Every structure is written in structure tokens, then in C-alpha cells.
Structure 1
Amino acid sequence: MKNSHDAPSNPTVNDIARVAQVSLATVDRVLNERPGVRDVTVKKVNRAIAELGYVRDTAAANLARGKIYRFLFILPAANNEFVDLLESQIAHLSKGLKSERTQISCMRVPAFDPMALAEAINALDPLQIDGVTVFGPETPSIRDSISRLRAHGVSVVSLVADIPSSERNTYVGIDNVAAGRTAAQLMGRFLGSVQGNILVVTGSMLARDHLERRLGFDRVIARDFPQLRVLASLEGRDDPDLIERLLPQTLAGAGDVVGIYSSAAGNAGLIRHFESASELAQPVIIAHELTPLSRSALASGLFDAVISQDAGHLVRSAVRIMRAHSDNSPINPAQERIRIDIYLNENLPPDTGGT
């Protein structure tokens, strides 16, 4: 076997076969992780690859094989502007990636319905899909469904809300605990020395992202702003009509509410309430996700701040990661890190029509 310093500058599969003393067909099977090769032979081929410094051109190999990447996004079906933004970004990216042999599709399942999501995942044919991105709650049934996909070699990415107890490959989204801490700092600084109660409007206590945001929010308020008291969460199910119905009674029985942290969706109901209500003093309102609706509320002064994450970055990152896992290639963690963006009326980006 040749020493590494005698290796060709641009080693090929022919060099691997020669050094490992195997056939080209065997090298091809090892490179593509196909069965039918003894472990001792796999080790010989991998030693030759390492010694030669061979770097596989995955794109060229996939082109030669005519490989098509098939990726699916599963999103919650709800009256949720941010999910609508995600879906529009998926459709936009899908058009641009057709020339790169990548097919991206999207399906919606009922929001906050773990069994419906598990059934949708279980109905997928793992032989017809390479990667799935899931935006949903963390429950045993969903964990089992993800395990089934992973057992068949399908990559799985959790989106916006992590499912860390599952066998998912990666999470794509902001650090939701940090987002909650950020909201608390903004709330406390906006209110200054004002004393009173804070109402948290959440989607569901089953949603990990909502729970983590509440956890981070509570910790910072308790530590830095003891003059503020955080009330029990109002569970709005991301339903604007439900939130609008629940708010009057909730606020009436909550005492002096000086701030509202809307940690989920359904902001239309919150906006409609305060646009029609006769409260003498409007509370400080901090919401999540920059959408046309929250942008308008910021511009009018109804919302004081919006904590957001870039929908386009989320979708592009999920696709890059699914593709990397499909190719057994590394990912760039810095490129895939999703920033926590903070928007005020003063720093709103230009409205391009899609936000």
C-alpha cells in the first residue's frame, strides 16, 4: 500500500480500488453504502480513502446517478400568519431548486393535534422521501413516528419547536428560552418602575416552543423585575376568534394588567380587542413573528416590540440540512443558526409585500 506522501494530487475511485486491491464495483458499493460488502473489505476501502485523501464530489456523483432529492415540510393547519409565511417561502424555494434535482412539497395537519400529526408521518412511504421537516408538538406518538422514519434512513428536522427527545437529526429555529428572556427584558425596561401584572397569551401548553418562551420570560421577570407579577397563561390555541372572546373576561379578572406577552400566534384577536376596547391605559404589548399583521400593529403603536425569526432562513436551512444528511455531508452550524430579531417601529425593514 502506498504511503500518503506518494498519493496522487487528485485521487480517483480507480486509485482507491488499486490501493485497497478491490474492484471498482466494490468501491462504488462502499461509497454509496450499499449492502453486499464484507466488513473487512469496507475497512480496507475506507483506509485507502483516508490514506489517499480522497474527497468525493457528491454533487457530481448524484448527477451521474440521476438522484432526485425529495423533501417534505409538515406544518400546522391554523389561522397563523407566520405559518403562511413559511409555506410561501417553501413554494418560492421549490421553484428555484427544480434545476438542482430537488423536489419540495408541503402539507398541513391540524394544529395542536399530536395524533393527527403522528398519523400523517406514519402514512409516509419512506422509500418515496429523503427528508421530512416537522413543525409540531413533542409527544410519545410523534417521537415513535419520527423513529420509524429514521430507521428507514429518512432525515428528520424539527422546525420552530424542537423535539429533542426524538431521533430527529437537527432542530432549526431560534433558542426559544432565550427569546422568552429577551421578551422579559424588553417588557421590564419598557415599564420601568411601573408595578402591576403581566398576562402571557400562549398557544398550547403542549407546544414546547411556547413552554420554553414562558420559562425564559418568568425567570428574567422574577430575577430582574420583582415589581411585576406574571399571571397564569391564557391558552389561545393560536385562534384569533378564541383569543378575542377570552380577553375581556381574562383582563377583567386579572387586576392591573400593565403588560401582555403574546408568545404565540393569534395576534389578530389581540389587535381587534384593543382596537375596539375602552381601556383607559393600553398595556405594553410584546409579540412574536414579524408578519403583515404585526408590522401594522408596530407601525400604529399598538405593539411595542416584535421578536421574530426569518421565515426564509428557516426554510432554506432545513433544506440544506436535509440535503446534507441525505449526502452524508457535514453542515455548517454557523450558517444554520437562526437569529433572534427584535423589531420596533423605528427599525422596521421595508415592506416588500411578503414581510
Structure 2
Amino acid sequence: MLSAMKRITVHDVAAQAGVSLATVDRVLNGRRGVSEAMSQRVHSTIDRLGFTRDHYAASLATSRRHRFVFVLPQPDGNSFMHALHDGVLAQRPVFMARRIQLTVQAYPAFQAAALARLLDRIDRQQTDGVAVVAVDAPRVRAALEALHARGVAVITLVSDVATRGAASGRLHCIAIDNVAAGRVAGSLIGRFNARRRGRVAAIAGKLTLRDHSERLLGFSQVIGQEHAQLELLPPLEGLDDGQATGAIVRRLLDAHPDLVGLYSIGAGNRGIIEALEQSGRQHDIVVVGHELTPHTRAALLRGAFDAVLHQSVEGEIATAVEALRAVADGDTGHVPEPIRIDIFMRDNV
């Protein structure tokens, strides 16, 4: 039995729970890769031993505090961006206990000039690091380079910019592999339509978002190379707006009676669902979208969507904070944990 006078360490937790140090670290930092049963065992051991820790002991020893800013698009009707905003705010108390202050600054979605101006105003004396959902535009890239030159740690989140190494400003991108996500969507739509010929459409929010352009690239590759029975229509942009995206879908349905597949690259899914269900063709067209929200979950259960590709908001925030802390502390060897692409269908929601 452990002495009451002894300071409980992660080694004690691992030994008492019968797991590795890596597993304890994953549970403590909310990372993926640990089963629910294993996570419960670790948490039960932590409670039983009365284990507490400052996750950043070195920072505590030097009274170092970190101040990180999440620069995010204004969420408006975008459920995923709402979840990202809410997720950062919800985790602020957790990270405050670890001497990390999180704040959120918002810019109008897709507006590169507004984003660049916001980045230009960030003060090195008040900010140690920035995680930004980026618009891939020259003005934004220049602002990131300037921010990096002022000594602020910079990473991109969800959507990246074209990079030229460390001089490009950002040192890491915390995101799923968006080309791979597009390829998964192409494979799903292609295989579900293996015995049907017809046209497929892809609707992005805006292709100046690198995540959207990369998803389209992967999707186009698979449809063009592996599914000759399908013809990919020119990509369309709905600005992640439900009303605008719904209008696009209605026009597609009118113009292409042979439409058999639809890939929703960004947001605006409520408009897609409404347009399909009003047309009565929601069970005839194979639809793949992104992010498991209450609306896409309901669409899966009703059969209006066939699959949803999802990324963990909580995992991305935790990974982004850890990457910023490492960069701010000069840990150039830190490699962020990859963000997994989850696939949901009506059978596993």
C-alpha cells in the first residue's frame, strides 16, 4: 500500500492500474487510443490514490504561464465551428489549472483580409501562441510569417495554408488528412453506386479554404481514376450556408435527373437535407458529408445521408494546445498526434 506521506506520481498510477505510462498520459490528456474500460480503470485508480499533478511541472517551477489565442471563423450557422468555439471555452478552466490561458478571437468566415488584420493586431507581449483556422491566401500567409517573426508560436487548425518550412510562419497543422478524407468520400459514393451510372456533385464552402480544396482533390482523384461509371460535375460553393447550399441542391436536382451522388465538403448540411427530403429523392442519391452534428446524425438515421466523416473537436483542441506549448517552450522535436478520420453510418451513431 502506498504511504500517505509519499507524493503520488504517474508511475504509481500506471503500476496500480496495471497499464503503461503512455496509457496514463493519454487518459490524463484526453487523447484517443484508449478503450472506455481502460480509461475508467485509470480514472478509478487516480481517484483511489488521490493523484493530482500540474501537467506542466517545468512551467510551475519557473512560474511560466502560457497565453494562447484560438483565431476562429465566426460560426454563424456552421455547427462544427460552433462546436469548436464552445469546445475552447469549455476547456478553459481545465487548462487554466495547468497555467494555460485560452482566449478566442473571431473573424468573418472566408474573409482573408479580415483574418490578416486580426493576426497583425496580436501583441507578442500578451500572446505566446496562436492556433488559427486559416484561409489560404497570400495576405494571410504574410501575416502568419510576421507573427512568427515577432516570436509568437503559430500553428494552423482544421485548415492549413501553403507552407515553405519554418519561414512560412506556422510550424504544425492540427487537422485530419483532408486529401484522404476526400478519397474516403469518393470511395464510399463510388462503391455505393457500383452498379449505377450517373453524375455526382461536390459542394464546398469555399475553395480558398485549404481543407475544402484538399478534400475536393482527393474526391476527384478517386471518382476519376476508379469509378468510370460516374461523371463528376464542376465543384460548387455554398459558403457553408444552409440556405445557399439548399438552393444549389435544388438546382442540381432540376438540372440532373441522373444525379446519383453528392459530397458535402463543408457545412450547410441542413439546406442539403431539406432540399433532398422535399424532392423525395433522399433515398435515391448517395450523400456523404462532414462532421457528426445533431442535424447530420438525424439525417443518417432517416436515410437522407449515407455516411458522415468526423473529426474530434476535443481531440483537436487538446492537440493544438499541446503543440503550442511545445513550440512556445522551444521543443522543436515535438510531433503532434495525428487526428483520426471517423466514419459514421446509421448503424454506429
Residue identity matched to 1:88: D
Q: With structure 1 as the length reference, what TM-score do the two structures score?
A: 0.78
- 2:68 equivalent to 1:71: yes
In structure 1, how many angstroms separate the alpha carbons of the residues matched to 2:228 and 2:238?
26
2:116 aligned residue: 118
- 2:337 equivalent to 1:340: no
Residue identity matched to 1:103: Q
**Structure 1 unaligned blocks of 5 or more:** 1-57, 349-355
Shift of 1:191: 1.2
Question: Which of 209, 212, 220 does residue 207 from structure 1 map onto?
Answer: 209
2:52 aligned residue: none
1:129 aligned residue: 127
1:293 aligned residue: 295
1:188 aligned residue: 190
Shift of 1:146: 0.6
Shift of 1:91: 1.4
- 2:91 equivalent to 1:89: no
SS at match of 1:199: strand
1:162 aligned residue: 160
2:142 aligned residue: 144
In structure 1, how many angstroms separate the alpha carbons of the residues matched to 2:247 and 2:298?
22
Residue identity matched to 1:193: R
Mapping 1:229-244, distance limit 5 Å: 229-244=231-246
Tell me the alpha carbon deviations over residues 298-354 of structure 1, each in whole angstroms, 9 at most, x when there is no partner: 111111000111111111000000001111125653x61001111111112xxxxxx
Identity of aligned residues (%): 38
Residue identity matched to 1:313: G
CA contact (8 A) 1:321 1:331 kept: no
Q: Cα gap change, 1:147/1:326 in structure 2, threshold over 3 Å: closer, same or farther?
A: same
2:254 aligned residue: 252
**Structure 2 unaligned blocks of 5 or more:** 1-54
Query: Which range moved further: 319-328 or 158-167?
Result: 158-167
Q: Superposition RMSD on alpha carbons, in Å? A: 1.8
Question: Hey, which bits of structure 1, 4+ residues long, moved more than 3 A?
Answer: 58-61, 278-281, 330-333
CA contact (8 A) 2:276 2:282 kept: no
CA contact (8 A) 1:305 1:343 kept: yes
Q: With structure 2 as the length reference, what TM-score do the two structures score?
A: 0.80
Question: Which of 210, 225, 228 does residue 230 from structure 2 map onto?
Answer: 228
Residue identity matched to 2:59: N
Q: Cα gap change, 1:214/1:61 in structure 2, threshold over 3 Å: closer, same or farther?
A: closer
Shift of 1:148: 1.2
The structure with the larger Rg is 1
